[in-house]
Structure 1
Amino acid sequence: MKKQTKKLAAVLAGLAVVVLAGQADGVRTYISEIREGPGTQNAFDMFKEATGEDALLEAIRKKAEETKVPPINARVDRVWKAIPGYNGLEIDVEATYRKALGGSLNTKLSYVYRETKPEIGLEDLGAHPIYRGNPEKPMVSFMINVAWGNEYIKPMLDTLDAEKVKATFFLDGSWLSKNAELAKEIQKRGHEMSNHAYSHPDMSRLSAERARQEIAKTEELLKQTLGVDNQWFAPPSGDFNQKTVEIASSMGLKTVLWTLDTVDWRKPSPDAVVHKISQKVEAGTLILMHPTASASGALKGMIDSIRAKGLTLGTVSETLSSNRVAKASVE
């Protein structure tokens, strides 16, 4: 009995030295020894009585304070207008502590992390256009506006599939009404489907009623044809005014434009498109393209150049959300 007590005392002393010295990674070795020895039920209670505090918990709290990444609020920028917020990241102290005491035993403490929401989100900013994601979020989106160019859609879908990339397709309503099966194919491949008005008008030239009809008609088609609950409106040709943004907002839609334009309708060479994107793309960039020969030919090269910068590709919804994303590894 005396030997067991001495062994436990030695282990507890070792634990105190390790934790109080701030070396949290070594704590679990001592916990393991406590558990495998006699008096397992009361060993940690004895330690707390001896030290006057739970040193493991304090070590986790200290690490949490040292490593905390605060969230970034959404804001309205003078140039870029509405910019989404970005979640913070911190150690979940309680979950980490419970895991340390009750989980599998290692020689290294395994921290549990959680995201923390900003106080101000995109939805709190009011009716403003959006041109980009948060510059701290290493994600990029392809915005593919579709009103014509059917012959290039499937080749582009095949490239996106091969590269495991999901894009957001903004559909012209009149195109959708005539190409429901092709739209369903795009959707079947896992891409996001959104609103590009009905007849490709200059939205700023329309009356309020006509502008509402243009958006509403396509929104109804998206719902009826594809079962889509949409949240984005991309004005044709990027033409809009504040009235357009407010009308879309009243219908539950945020107006989204682009950060970087491939200008593929001018028929540049695929190499020229890739060069432009590789030079200018950065975290939060929304890249505009259409189903054209230029975009189709450049798509693989664009994906490669984006990934070479450690950026991840996602849908517009993913890029404009406040959810965190890890920086992609660069091979």
Structure 2
Amino acid sequence: MNFIWIWNGKRIKQYMIVVIAAFFTAGILFVERSQVTVFSPSTETSAIYKAEIKEKKVALTFNISWGEEKAIPILDVLKEKDINNATFFLSASWAERHPDIVERIVKDGHEIGSHGYRYENYPGWDDDKVRKDIQRAHQTLYDLTNKAPTLLRPPNGNFDKRVLEIAEAQKYKLIHWSVNSHDYSNPGTDQIVSNVMDNVSGGDIVLFHASDTVKQTHKALPTIINQLKSKGYKFVSVSELIANTDTKSEEI
């Protein structure tokens, strides 16, 4: 009788191990299926980084979060090259301090998108803090330009699926980029030109900066614009680029 009890106990232990393993496996599968990538083409909410078009159109975009020395030279280059439809993503706290530069951007015909209010990473914030920052930036930019922004590029370009969903709920399209000039690292004028021209194609959204961090962007821009024009490219705002076109997303 004791032998039978010991044998049954072993069988019970074996069954328990099997059951625990089954639950563990099911848990792993559940977690894996729950981890939806930010740029997954199958998700309804995604960041736009490129337009799927055959035409040679590109959107030049500029992030500004601080300083007042580099924005004007960049605007001067764009004006000299007859480009009046770049897209500037402005930190609203910066815009409050420099309304004259914001006015110049608008006057020159460029599009303004939101870069948030405070220049801090959204993924590290709770939902309510992200939502309030987007709303505060929205109101600030509207007050300065009399036009409500519809495009959002989060501070540092950092976001996750949760931030995407909050932005979408605020009626924003979240804009990333497909070509990075890496001008913020000041690698040299020739390298900035190469970073763009070696990678550009129709439908691209090109990332530049116009904060005082960048020292060479205004020097590289004329060459980049001239070379793009010589290759038959036309310049459009982000809104124009993505209007009535398929947009491309990417897994990260």
Q: Same fold (TM over 0.5)?
A: yes
Q: How does 1:1-331 map to 2 (within 5 A)?
A: 126-165=44-83, 166-291=85-210, 292-322=214-244
Deviations 1:132-151, CA, capped at 9 Å, x for gaps: 11142321011100012421
Judge conservation of contact 1:168–1:316 (CA < 8 Å) in 2.
Answer: yes
Tell me, what secondary structure is at the counterpart of 1:276?
A: helix
Give the greater-gyration-radius structure (CA).
1
Structure 1 residue 126, shift from structure 2 partner: 3.6
Between the aligned partners of 1:258 and 1:225, the Cα distance in structure 2 is 26
Between the aligned partners of 2:153 and 2:38, the Cα distance in structure 1 is 18
Structure 1 residue 234, shift from structure 2 partner: 0.2
Judge conservation of contact 1:174–1:199 (CA < 8 Å) in 2.
Answer: yes
Deviations 1:108-148, CA, capped at 9 Å, x for gaps: xxxxxxxxxxxxxxxxx842111111142321011100012
Judge conservation of contact 1:80–1:132 (CA < 8 Å) in 2.
Answer: no
Judge conservation of contact 1:81–1:131 (CA < 8 Å) in 2.
Answer: no
Between the aligned partners of 1:151 and 1:135, the Cα distance in structure 2 is 36
Between the aligned partners of 2:96 and 2:191, the Cα distance in structure 1 is 34
Judge conservation of contact 2:179–2:204 (CA < 8 Å) in 1.
Answer: yes
The root-mean-square deviation of aligned C-alpha atoms, in Å, is 2.1
Tell me, what secondary structure is at the counterpart of 2:94?
A: helix
Percent identity between the two aligned chains: 26
Give the 3 Å change call, closer, same or farther, for CA 81–311 of structure 1 in structure 2.
farther
Between the aligned partners of 1:203 and 1:191, the Cα distance in structure 2 is 26
Amino acid at match of 1:311: Y
Tell me, what secondary structure is at the counterpart of 1:273?
A: helix
Judge conservation of contact 1:80–1:131 (CA < 8 Å) in 2.
Answer: no
Amino acid at match of 1:316: V
Structure 1 residue 248, shift from structure 2 partner: 0.7
Between the aligned partners of 1:265 and 1:226, the Cα distance in structure 2 is 27
Amino acid at match of 2:160: N
Give the 3 Å change call, closer, same or farther, for CA 214–172 of structure 1 in structure 2.
same
Structure 1 residue 311, shift from structure 2 partner: 1.5
Give the 3 Å change call, closer, same or farther, for CA 296–187 of structure 1 in structure 2.
same
Give the 3 Å change call, closer, same or farther, for CA 229–81 of structure 1 in structure 2.
farther
**Higher RCO (CA-CA < 8 Å; seq separation 6+):** 2
Q: Tell me the TM-score normalized by structure 2.
A: 0.77
Structure 1 residue 79, shift from structure 2 partner: 9.5
Deviations 1:201-259, CA, capped at 9 Å, x for gaps: 11111100000011111100111111112210001112101111111111110111111
Alignment match, 2:11: none
Q: Tell me the TM-score normalized by structure 1.
A: 0.59
Between the aligned partners of 1:143 and 1:80, the Cα distance in structure 2 is 20
Judge conservation of contact 2:49–2:178 (CA < 8 Å) in 1.
Answer: yes
Alignment match, 2:17: none
Amino acid at match of 2:192: V
Judge conservation of contact 1:261–1:288 (CA < 8 Å) in 2.
Answer: yes
Q: Paired residues, what number?
A: 206
Structure 1 residue 153, shift from structure 2 partner: 1.1
Point out where structure 1 has 5 or more consecutive residues left out of the alignment.
1-77, 83-124, 324-331
